[in-house]
Structure formats: structure tokens, C-alpha cells
Chain A
Amino acid sequence: MSPAGLALAATVLASASGLGGLALHRRPALGQRVSAALLVGGALLGIAAALPVLLGGPTSLLRIDWGQPHAALALRLDPLAAFFLVPVLSVPALGALYGLAYWPQAEPGRRGARLQAWYGVLAGSMAAVVLADNALLFLFAWEVMALGGFFLVRSDADRKDAQKASWIYLAAAHVGSFALFALFAAVGGARGSFDFAAWAALPATGAGWLAVLALVGFGIKAGIVPLHFWLPGAHAAAPSHVSAVMSGVLLKTGVYGLLRTAGFFEAPPAAWGGLLLVLGGASGVLGVALALAQHDLKRLLAYHSVENIGIITMGVGLAMVGRSLGDPELVLLGFGGGVLHVVNHALFKSLLFLGAGSVQHATGTRDLERLGGLARAMPWTAGLFLVGAAAISGLPPLNGFVSEWLVALGAVSALDLPAFDRAAFVVLVAPTLALVGALAAACFVKVQGTVFLGNPRTDDAARAHESPRAMLVPMAVLAAACVSIGLLPSLLVPALSRAAAAWAGVPVERLAPAAGLAAGSAGMVSVVASVLAGALLLAWLARRRLGSAGASTTWGCGYAYPTPRMAYTGSSFAQILNHGFRWALLPRVRLAPPRGIFPTGARFSTEPREAVLDLALVPAVRDYVQATSRIRRLVAGRLHLQALLVLATLVAMLAWRLLWW
């Protein structure tokens, strides 16, 4: 079977995986196992399909006509699609294994079979989005994906926040879909075909509004600031293995769409890349700043997705600038760093969300200030979460470092541009990445420290227990992938350079010098990693033979009875940086300071606000609804008035068309 055929089989298998649970509703535990097995089978098939393409095989096509005008089941598995296909299928499979213990269908009142059905549909539709070679098929899969996400966020439909978050998600997703319908209709109409194959080499001049449509449509899905407003709520409300899929891979379909659309255009102007760089930088810095202020573990992780999408967008922006300048180094390093970060973020973010799920499973809370000291009860979870935390902070020798390093290297490679060239200012990406990385490290010191280290802050945290093996094994697989990519990054460079060449429409030989530079340096990263391992071993040997003089309490400056309430909280930890970013956080502060000579009590609380949603969109929509309520009251129940309103609108549009257009 051709790789595209295998990929189609994987997509069908994943989409249908949840039906097992619906059919076997008498034996829910068995049904869930069947579903998980089908998803794992689909993931293995998907990897088998992607590998030959990644290893240099030809692009694989598959076309089955539907007999519908313009629509066709046309699939294309090229290196770019292959890079996305692997995480899009494997992360849901690992999440399903995790769900066996985390969200057992056998428990009453869980609506587990329904969740599993939508879960499979989501995985399959994401694969279809990545594979689609026809605009109508793409839009169909895109809509199914949006709906799947909606029903999955509502899995806990009894909870108010899940309901609210799911509606916001649905509205945002459809604004995005609307932009994409407009974009694809415009391009398809101009080209007379809805096959992506016919869309190659679109002229970029005068196509600025198409770029804006793509940016809105895909940017909402990806969560680029300021279109990220739906994301934290939805990702926090969903069950954790669903959050892992949504945050780890669902967002990436937006990045995929941006890349695919950019690939259609011939020589996009540098301004498009510049815009992506600015938006990516803003997403990176604001995403991590908002994350630092959160108290809810899953909301915090969701904001980190905004940050990482920012890093990916900066990589894509560099590659776009590189295409317009004809600079192969920028193209290869920007594209390679961005796409590799897509894969890496899928790995460590789903690892972290699964870890957050384990914490919630063990303690019943996601509030950072109520946790603490879990490393003692949950050593495996704590260790695996630490791998994810170090990886997302971009620390060597893990995978997050490699992709951020490629993007930074791409940015500084622009230094050889001549003076007076404005494009040389893309080097500012490098310090931005440094800022984002350092803030992310600060945030994950806070998370790891307040959740897993120190003493338990509440009884819930003290009663925690280690997760069952079904939850630990998927996390271990993800952590192992993070470490392997971090240790041997040079193996991925050839596949990345083939994908970049296909995307930029240049022969792979043109990127060869840049690929050689990247592969050589990536090899040196492995060398440095082994030096680090050797130094660690030496240091460990140096202290191993020494004895311990026993245990004591923590030094409390002479105070011998510390309690967990005295420990530094997550909020206090982040206070300096939150203060610095208060212009972006706009926190709601409630302060009742101590008063008088004998103060009786004092309170202080801060609550970060989602500025775009809480301060702009919600008030605007409320005002709009109020303003139009008079018209609605007038026409409610009066069919003739409603018909008149429609007619008046039509006449107005006709007049506009005739007079001004």
C-alpha cells in the first residue's frame, strides 16, 4: 500500500476507534480498551506511512472522486504533512492509554463512551486536515475537528466553567472557519479548482487581504495573540488527556494551515514574514507573562501553549522573510526550528498536561496554592513532569532547546545581511527567545516547586498517591521522546531540510549548505550533551563516597517549627515578574490592608484577567446585544416585519453593489 493509503487507513481507524465503546455499551471497560487499541493501531499505521516520506521517499498522493463538483477525497503525504501526521496521531493514542486509568468508562455517570467517540473523531479529523489535498475536504475535516473539540471540552457538562468555555471555543472556532471559507472560496474561484495542487504559485501582489484571512482563520486555531482568548478556558476545562491533545496537537493544525497557505504563494513579501515575527514575539512574551500569573495548573499550561505557538510563529516568520529575500539559511533554520518545535511542543506539552491530570487525579485540585510536596508520594510523576518542565523551558540537553536554538541560529544568521537592510533586524528574534526562555524557566521553577517540592500545603496534597501504571507509561514514552530528540538532533536535519525545500519551492540542493551547518552544529550539541553527562558523572562520583551526618529540619533562621503555610507560595514566587508585567495582566486586586493599632485581619488576593476576552470581547458583545435588542423586540413573532428586514437588507446590498463597487 502506498504511504498515502496507509495514512488513509490510519485516519479511518482513528476516527472509528470510539465506535467500539458505543457498540459495547454493556461492557464499557472492554469498549474503552478496544478504542485505545484502535487508536494505537492507527498511530502505528500513521508512523509507518510517514516514515518513508520523512526518510526521503517521494510525496505520496491518493485520489478518490466523490462525484461531487469540486470535492474529492484527495490526500497528499509530503514531508510537511508527515511531520505533522506523526504527533497528530500518536499523542491521541498515548492519551487514550492514559485515559484507561484516568477517565474509566466503567465508572457511572462518566459519559465515557461518548467522550471516546468524539476523541477518536477528533484524532481522525486532525489527520484528515493534515492530509487533505482539496480545499473542500480540508474545510470538512476542519469543521468536524472544531465540533469534536467542542463536545470534548463539554465532557464535564455539569460544570459551569466547562459549558462557558465550550461555547466561547465554538464561537471562536466558527469565526475562524468563516475566514477560511472566504479565503478558500476566493482562491478556488480565481483558480477554478479546489484542489490544492492547482493552487501552486499564487501571485502575492495584491493578495494582502488573503493573507489577513489566513492569519485570522488559522491564527484563531493556533492561539496567536490576540486571537488566543478562547484557549486557556477550553484547555483547562477539558479532561486532562483531552487537554493534552488540544494543547499539544490541535493548535498545531493552525500552524499547519498557515504553512500550507504560505506555500501556495509565490515569493510572499517580506512584510508577511515581518508581521508573523511581531505577532510571534508578542505571543511568546505575553503568553509566558500570563502563564506566570495563573494559579490554576492547567490554565497555566494552556497559556504556555500561547508562548510556544509564539516561538513556532517566529520560526515560520523567519522562514517567510528568508523566502522573500532568497536566503536559504533563514528558510532552513526558521522552518526547521518552527516545525521541529511543533513536534517538540506536542511531546512536552502533552507530557505536562498528563502530569497535571495525574496531580488532579491524586489530589482533586489544580490550584497551585493547595498543592506541594507531591514528589514524595508521586516520585515517578514528579520526575517525568520535571523532564517536561525542563524541556519546555528550553534547557539543554532536551528537545525544547534544540528547536529554540535552531530558530535563534536562524535569526542570527541574518547578521550577514548588508548594513542598511531593514531585514537584518530579524536578529531581535534571538534576544526575544532568550527573554521567553528565561521567563518560561522561571514559571516552571514555580510550578515544579509549588506542586512537587517542599511540604504539602493541604491535607488533599498530603493524601496524594502515585498514579497507576497505565497513566505513567504514556508519560514515560513522551519523556523518552523528549530526551532522544534532545540528545540526537542532527538525525532530524535531513528530513527537515527536505520539508523546507518542498515548502519553499526550491531544490533541496540550494538548502544543502545551510543544512550542513545545522547538522554539524546539531551534532556538536550532542557532543556538549555528552560532556555534560560526563561532568555530572564525575561530580556524582566525587560526592558519592562521602557519608551523611543525618537529617535535620530546614534552616528557618533559628525558628524551629516551620509550617507549610510559611512556605513561599506560587503567587509570591511570581510576584516580581507579575509586577513587571502588570500592564499586560491587568489583574483584579482585592486588598484589605491591616488597619489600626491592633489590626484584626487583612486580606489580599489577585486574579489575573484574560484581557482580550474579559475586557474587550465580552463587553463589546454585551453592548451589541443590548443595542440590537430593541429591533429584536420589535420583530419578535411578527413574520411580516422579519421579511421586511430581510428585504431591506437585500435592497441595501444591491444598492451598494450598483453604486459603489
Chain B
Amino acid sequence: MILRAIFQIGILLVLPPLLLGVVNRVKSVAAGRTGPPLLQLYSDLWKLIRKDVVYSRTTTWVFRAGPLVGLAAVATAGTMLPVAGQPALLAFPGDFVLFAYLLALARFATALAALDTGSSFEGMGAAREVSFASMAEPALFLVLVVMARATASLSLSGMLGPALAPAWKAAAPALLLSAIALFVVALAENSRIPVDDPNTHLELTMIHEVMVLDHSGPELAFILYGAAIKLFLFGALFVRLVADVGVAGFWAAEVAFVVELVGFAILVGLVESGMARLRLTRVPQMLVGASVLSVFALVLLLR
């Protein structure tokens, strides 16, 4: 039991940077480049964590607190997410609401830290982030409500647990629609193409990256690490929802889970390679579209 708990925390804390490495490798291969090593982000984090910090003279303690709260909230959300079909460390009815609101807390702290710099670019980033998030949030909730209805469970561990496989047999169309919506939300929440381009070089067009322009040293490391964990959280939700392969045994299931997560990262990388970024004014339409899809899914279940 304790061993499993340690293992789950270990996966949550160690695996995430690898996913971003896979995404970047897929993008490089698709573009005909060699690309950075798979473990590049680990080296980046190690380098940054040993560096000194530079602060803007405009900033206050809010700027310093932003990365800490952001990382802590995302990691805490991870303790409620079941890994590989095993129940999460903390599971209780209504935990999915807390899960979503902890992600909101991270966003709140990051956006405030951005505004603390007094920079108009970071203001733009923060405005876009919170605006798009307020359209993604209902879609995420609708997806979770659909899963709750399909599995008759009010906790994430129940929704992604053994009840999921029979739910697919009974309500495949609804779950498929909500899986598509979840993927769209995952792309938006993690600032991936087609919503945001993590590699863009023009501050005016960035969303997430521009919010963290002024962070440096270990605080930047916390932000990058937090972003990786967030991608992991959405990936874990998504792969469990769509690829619930019935592998027997604890270790086999864990291995299958990691393989599926890498598959998710490849999928994200392929989407990023195959698509252009949407104009900012199109992003709300895409997110509202995701909400509409999941409302359809809900209607299918409730009719």
C-alpha cells in the first residue's frame, strides 16, 4: 500500500518532463530535424534550479509567490488523479471539482505574478490565459459530469476505475464526444497548438509563455515543471478515458499506462506538427465548440 503510494507520487513527479521531451521530438522528426534529446527538460530544470534569480524592481511578494503556488497547486491536484486505474491517493465524492479548482488556483497565481511586473506584454498574456480558461472550464466540467453519469461515480478514481469499461459498452457515443472535448480542453489548458505556440518568438502573440517572461532561475524551473505536470494530468485523464486496456496486474498496468501516456504525447506532437495556430479570435469558438460537444454527450446520457 505504502509502496504503491510512493510509486504513484514518484510517477507524478518524475515522468512529466519526459512527455514534453516526446512532444518536442515528434515535432522535430516531423519537421526533418534531429531535435533536442528526450530528456532535455530534466537538464534544463537542473540547470535553472542552481541559478540565481533576477527580479524586476516593480515586483512584490506576489511575483515571488506565483511560481510556488502554481507548482504546489498543480502537484496537489495530481494526488487526486488515479494513475493506471488504481485509486488515487486521495479520493472522495466531489474531488473532481477540487481538482479543477486547484488548476484554477495555479492559473490565478501565475496571472497575478504576470500583472505584478507592470509589463503590458505580460498583461496581455494574463488576460488571454484567464479569458480562454473561463471558456475551457465549463467544457472540462461537462466532460467530468458526463464521465460521472456514465460510471455512476462522483470521484475521479471511480470515474476512471473499473466502472469505465462497462460504461464504454453502454454509452460509447457520449464518452467518445466527451473524449474529443477533453482533448481540445487539454490542448488549450496546456498552451499547445492550435491555441498557443510554445515556441513562438513574438511576445505579442504568446499566451502562456509571455506571462512568465520575467521569471528566472529556480522560479522559472518551477513554472516549467508545473506546466509539465499539468500536461501529465490531462494526459492521464485522457488516456485512461479512451484507452482503458484491461491489463491484469499492478505492474503490467503501470507499464501500459506509461506507454499510453507516451502515445498521448506523440498525438499532441502530431497535432502540433500538422496544424497551424488559430487566430486568437477563433480560439473562443473552438472552446465553446468543445462545450457544445460535451453538452450533446450529456444529453445523450440524460435523454
Contacts and interface: CB of A to CB of B under 8 A. Distances in A.
Interface of A: 372-373, 375-376, 379, 382, 386, 390, 393-396, 401, 405, 408-409, 412-413, 415-416, 419-420, 424-425, 427-428, 430-435, 437-439, 441-442, 444-446, 448-450, 453-455, 517, 520-521, 524-525, 527-528, 531-532, 535-536, 538-540, 542-543, 546-557, 562, 564, 566-568, 572-577, 580
Interface in B109-146: 111-112, 115-124, 126-128, 130-131, 133-134, 136-142, 145
A453 B115 contact: yes
A413 to B, nearest CB: 7
A435 to B, nearest CB: 4
Contact of B145 (A415, A441, A453, A554): A415
Nearest 9 Cβ contacts at the A-B interface? A568-B123, A449-B115, A454-B118, A438-B134, A535-B72, A549-B52, A442-B130, A438-B137, A524-B92
Given A396-B98, A445-B108, A449-B126, 12 more contacts: A396-B105, A427-B298, A428-B298, A449-B111, A449-B112, A449-B116, A532-B72, A532-B102, A548-B54, A552-B56, A555-B213, A576-B128
21 contacts: A375-B62, A376-B60, A386-B112, A394-B101, A395-B108, A401-B98, A433-B141, A438-B137, A454-B115, A532-B102, A535-B73, A536-B72, A548-B53, A553-B56, A555-B214, A568-B119, A568-B120, A572-B127, A573-B123, A573-B126, A580-B284
A263 B302 CA distance: 30
A420 B299 CA distance: 10
B90 interface: yes
Contacts of B276: none
A431 B142 contact: yes
Interface in B52-76: 52-60, 62, 67-69, 71-73, 75-76
Given A396-B105, A562-B118, A574-B127, A552 B54 contact: yes
Nearest to B218: A543
A337 B246 CA distance: 39
B231 interface: no
Contacts of A396: 98, 101-102, 105
Contact of A552 (B57, B120, B142, B213): B57
Given A415-B149, A539-B68, A437 B120 contact: no
Nearest to A557: B203
Nearest to A397: B105
Contact of A441 (B94, B104, B222): B104
Contacts of B154: 409, 412-413, 415
B137 A437 contact: yes
B39 interface: no
Nearest to B119: A554
B36 interface: no
Secondary structure dominating the interface of B: helix
Contacts of A416: 152
Nearest to A372: B118
A528 B52 CA distance: 32
A604 B222 CA distance: 40
A236 to B, nearest CB: 24
A574 B111 CA distance: 13
Given A405-B97, A549-B52, A549-B54, A441 B219 contact: no
Nearest to A530: B76
Interface in B137-174: 137-142, 145, 148-149, 152, 154
B300 to A, nearest CB: 10
Contacts of B117: 454, 554-555
B215 to A, nearest CB: 10
A527 B79 CA distance: 11
A428 B134 CA distance: 16
A521 B94 contact: yes
A549 B48 CA distance: 13
Contacts of A538: 72
B303 interface: yes
Interface string B21-59: 000000000000000000000000000011111111111
B261 interface: no
B83 interface: no
Given A409-B94, A445-B126, A551-B57, A546 B69 contact: no
B95 interface: yes
A554 B210 CA distance: 12
A273 to B, nearest CB: 17
B63 to A, nearest CB: 8
B98 A525 contact: yes
A72 B154 CA distance: 49
B104 A438 contact: yes
A356 B222 CA distance: 33
A418 B126 CA distance: 43
A524 B71 contact: no
A483 to B, nearest CB: 14
The interface centre, meaning the residue of A379, A430, A555, A557 with most chain B CB atoms within 10 A of its CB, is A555
B131 A393 contact: no
A554 B68 CA distance: 20
Given A386-B62, A531-B79, A567 B118 contact: yes
Contacts of A550: 54
B208 interface: no
B107 interface: yes
A546 B76 contact: no
Contacts of A555: 56, 117, 119, 121, 213-214
A567 B145 contact: no
Contacts of B217: 543, 546, 549
Contact of B219 (A517, A521, A536, A543): A543
Given A453-B116, A542-B218, A573-B123, A435 B134 contact: yes
Contacts of A524: 90, 92, 95
B258 interface: no
Given A431-B141, A521-B93, A455 B131 contact: no
B36 to A, nearest CB: 24
Interface in B72-94: 72-73, 75-76, 79-80, 90, 92-94
Contacts of B51: 546
A453 B112 contact: yes
Given A395-B105, A438-B133, A568-B127, A557 B121 contact: yes
Given A445-B108, A525-B98, A543 B222 contact: yes
A547 B50 CA distance: 9
A551 B53 CA distance: 9
A491 B75 CA distance: 27
Contacts of B108: 390, 393, 395, 441, 444-445
B100 interface: yes
B123 A567 contact: yes
A576 B127 contact: yes
Contact of A442 (B102, B118, B134): B134
B153 to A, nearest CB: 9
A382 B65 CA distance: 14
Given A454-B115, A539-B72, A549-B53, A527 B90 contact: yes
Contacts of B73: 532, 535
